[in-house]
Amino acid sequence: MPELPEVESVRRTLENRVVGRSVVRVRVLTRPVVSLPGDPASGFTRTRTQSEPVRLRSSFLLARDHITTVERLGKQIAIVRSRAPVVRIQLGMTGSVRVDDAQRPKHTHVEWELDDGACMRFVDPRRFGLVASHPSRELLQQHVWSMLGPDALTIRHAELKRACVGRKRSIKSVLLDQTLVAGVGNIYADEALFASKINPTRDAGLLTDLEVRALAREIRSVMRTAIKSGGSTIRDYRNADGNAGFFQQKHKVYGRGGDLCTRCQTTLQSSQVAQRTTVWCPRCQMSR
DNA sequence: ACGATACCCTGATGGC
DNA sequence: TGCCATCAGGGTATCG
């Protein structure tokens, strides 16, 4: 998936295409990836039990209001209109939002026709993603976004400190926990830990003040740099214009287990930390 | 509070 | 060519 830099790249390309537009028609092709107000558990989670025919109220990202902004918190995108409901998109592992493909791609789940004739689509082969509708920006904030940690792109030392302090779990698992830090996934967790020379298995609560400060700085830095590269395309990630990213060429550790450390030439170690494949340099990132 | 596990899906890849 | 196991950028529920 799409971690923060990929989602931000989607947000930016999407913003250029849809702000000022209104939706003429919505088509839901796969009900289970959609969560509407009133659905059981319509918050974080998708509804899997739906089998009734798709009849959407006109309030579901349809007409009337023009789209005013496309926002992002962590790995989530919100398409906002001033009065009508807000649509939240979570890309999951393989989700993408595309505008104006020549024809409808395989695994298209939701389709929005815009008033300028363009077509925006939510495409997601693995269906781990989600499209949700919220009555307003305020309620999106209240019910969903307030549950997320500070955005990784701008996270400050004090905020990361708050996420770590008193916690008896690995720093890697803290970084991956969206309620503690929003936007970091498996790639950028490893990259930021390498850049700040912190071992992923270290106890988050035992990091020194200096280390937390360095880590916060490197998280921001790696996010900024990756956004400039349009994100990382490992297999199928594309922004809303269909372009791949190229930050994967700059990965120092992710996907490089068994290769040599770019700093000290030691063989990079790869094993499971927090149930995810994790790569680090055993020399640069000492375990203490 | 935390780790581990199972689960939600499809597709790519490598071994046989 | 086919079959099978394994792996993948995410996230939730449940259990100990």
Model confidence pLDDT, tens digit, residues A254-275: 999 999 999 999 999 999 999 9
**Across all strands, nucleotide nearest A183 (CA–C1'):** C10
Report the pLDDT value the prediction gives residue A62, as an integer from 0 to 100: 59
In this predicted model, which residue has the larger pLDDT, A6 or A32? A6
Rounded CA–C1' distance between A272 and C16, in angstroms: 21
Report the pLDDT value the prediction gives residue A1, as an integer from 0 to 100: 66
Rounded CA–C1' distance between A231 and C7, in angstroms: 22
Contacts of A30 (CB under 8 A, 6+ apart): A109, A110, A127
A219, A35 in Cβ contact below 8 A? no
Q: Is the pLDDT of residue A219 over 90?
A: yes
Full 3-state SS string of A150-191: CEHHHCCHHHHHHHHCCCCCEHHHHHHCCCCCECCCHHHHHH
Q: Could you give the angle at which helices A209-228 and A157-164 cross, rounded to 10 degrees?
A: 120
Q: Which long-range contacts (CB under 8 A, 24 or more apart) does A192-197 make?
A: A192/A218, A192/A219, A192/A221, A192/A222, A193/A280, A193/A285, A194/A252, A194/A253, A194/A280, A194/A281, A194/A284, A194/A285, A195/A221, A195/A222, A195/A252, A197/A284, A197/A285, A197/A286
Report the pLDDT value the prediction gives residue A122, as an integer from 0 to 100: 97
Half-sphere exposure (Cβ direction) of A135: Cα atoms closer than 13 Å: 8
Task: Assign A159 a pLDDT band (cuts: 50, 70, 90).
Answer: very high
Alpha carbons A91 and A76: distance in angstroms, whole number: 7
Mean confidence (pLDDT) of chain A: 91
Contact between the CB of A48 and strand B at under 7 Å: yes
Report the pLDDT value the prediction gives residue A57, as an integer from 0 to 100: 53
Token representation of residue A68: 């005013």
**Across all strands, nucleotide nearest A257 (CA–C1'):** C7
A141, A171 in Cβ contact below 8 A? no
Percent of chain A with pLDDT over 90: 81
Contact between the CB of A169 and strand B at under 7 Å: yes
Q: Is the pLDDT of residue A49 over 70?
A: no
Contact between the CB of A85 and strand C at under 7 Å: no
| Strand C nucleotides, any atom under 7 Å to a protein CB | 7-13
Other CB atoms within a 10 A radius of the CB of residue A105 amount to 13
Q: Where are the alpha helices (DSSP H) in A111-254?
A: 137-143, 157-164, 171-176, 186-195, 209-228
Residue A79 amino acid letter: I
Report the pLDDT value the prediction gives residue A40, as an integer from 0 to 100: 58
Q: Give the pLDDT mean for A236-263.
A: 95
**Across all strands, nucleotide nearest A45 (CA–C1'):** C12
Report the pLDDT value the prediction gives residue A44, as an integer from 0 to 100: 43
Q: Give the pLDDT mean for A81-89.
A: 90
Alpha carbons A175 and A257: distance in angstroms, whole number: 20
Report the pLDDT value the prediction gives residue A65, as an integer from 0 to 100: 80
Task: Assign A235 a pLDDT band (cuts: 50, 70, 90).
Answer: confident
- According to DSSP, the β-strands at A76-81 and A67-73 are antiparallel
A192, A283 in Cβ contact below 8 A? no
Q: Is the pLDDT of residue A48 over 80?
A: no
Q: Give the pLDDT mean for A103-116.
A: 94
| pTM (predicted TM-score) | 0.94
Task: Assign A236 a pLDDT band (cuts: 50, 70, 90).
Answer: confident
Contact between the CB of A145 and strand C at under 7 Å: no
Catalytic site residues of A?
2-3, 75, 276
